[in-house]
Amino acid sequence: FELFLRNSSRFIAKPCAINLGIQDSGPHRAQPNAILEKVFTSITKSPDGKRLEGLSKQLDWDVRKIQRWFRHRRNQDKPTTLTKFCESMWRFTFYLSIFFYGIRFLWTAPWFWDTRQCWYNYPFQPLTSRLYYYYILELAFYWSLMFSQFTDIKRKDFLIMFVHHLATIGLITFSYMNNMVRVGTLVLCLHDASDFLLEAAKLANYAKYQRLCDAFFMLFGVVFIVTRLGIYPFWILNTTLFESWELIGPYPSWWLFNGLLITLQILHIIWSYLIIRIAYKALVRGKVRLLATLWGPPSYEPC
């Protein structure tokens, strides 16, 4: 499914981006130079003053010219706006589709309205085909994110996202193996509620629709904090920690399951702090558009 979305971005996202005026043009390319290229790839991408002086004498170049070369060479490796637009487009499509699939499925599920239903007759609860496909799609998507981290646009938050993907894959796999799929569907749907809003803000930012970008990011921030710091601990953790203890009692895997859920909660707190800090700085500067830019896909730097 992810492969289908990625390939479709070539035929849908790219034409959309071009129609919105997003050009497939990269940054200024550095002048070919074998010596500087060897230093860049093998030694350092940001040489210090002493090395700059040595290169200046070796090449008979001005130090500022060498600094400019390294700056152009670093920018040369950054993805174009068109590339980032296409990546956000396929992620937006998946997050939106899986969120509405989850809502439609859970709307008729009794445990959506009463979380104690997650533990009645456990572990002898039927696994329906719709629930199975929901789980498999989510698991496949997060496995793809895990592997694509090493090939996609590089992020400064690589480590924290790596921990997040590990915890998520562990939770999905563990809950499936232990037939905790009812509460698992609640966790999945809750996490999908805000992700597509962030991707929508990125798309608007790349297309230079500032007001739309501002609106989407502010909405994302509100939904993220409400779902991750409000609903998640008082709805999800409440049922996994207390209702499950009351109805089925603790067992060895209970501790691991809740340990992974608490790990996610710690990540939620970290991300919420980052969102609030970035939002505060941007609002103080009067540049709300920086919100989605700073929370952009390559890193927290401006895209």
Dump pLDDT digits (tens) for 209-253: 888 888 898 899 999 999 999 999 999 999 999 999 999 888 788
pLDDT score at 234: 95
Neighbours of 196 (CB within 10 A): 22
* Residue 160 pLDDT exceeds 70: yes
Average pLDDT over residues 254-259: 88
Lowest mean pLDDT among 3-12, 104-113, 127-136, 258-267: 3-12
- Mapped onto helix, strand or coil, the DSSP state of residue 17 is helix
Q: Which residues are within 8 A (CB) of 122 and not within 5 positions of it... i.e. 6 or more apart?
A: 179, 180, 247, 248
Structure-block tokens of residue 78: 């950054």
Q: Report the C-alpha gap between 297 and 155 in whole angstroms.
A: 7
Q: Report the C-alpha gap between 98 and 150 in whole angstroms.
A: 24
Predicted confidence (pLDDT) per residue in 167-220, tens digit: 888 889 988 998 899 999 999 999 999 999 999 999 998 888 888 888 898 899
Structure-block tokens of residue 81: 């706006």
Q: Is this structure's pTM higher than 0.85?
A: no
DSSP 8-state class, residue 200: H
Q: For the chain, what is the mean pLDDT?
A: 82
pLDDT-derived band at 280 (thresholds 50, 70, 90) equals confident
φ, ψ of residue 33 in degrees (nearest 5) = -155, 115
What does the radius of gyration of the chain's CA atoms come to, in whole angstroms?
Answer: 23
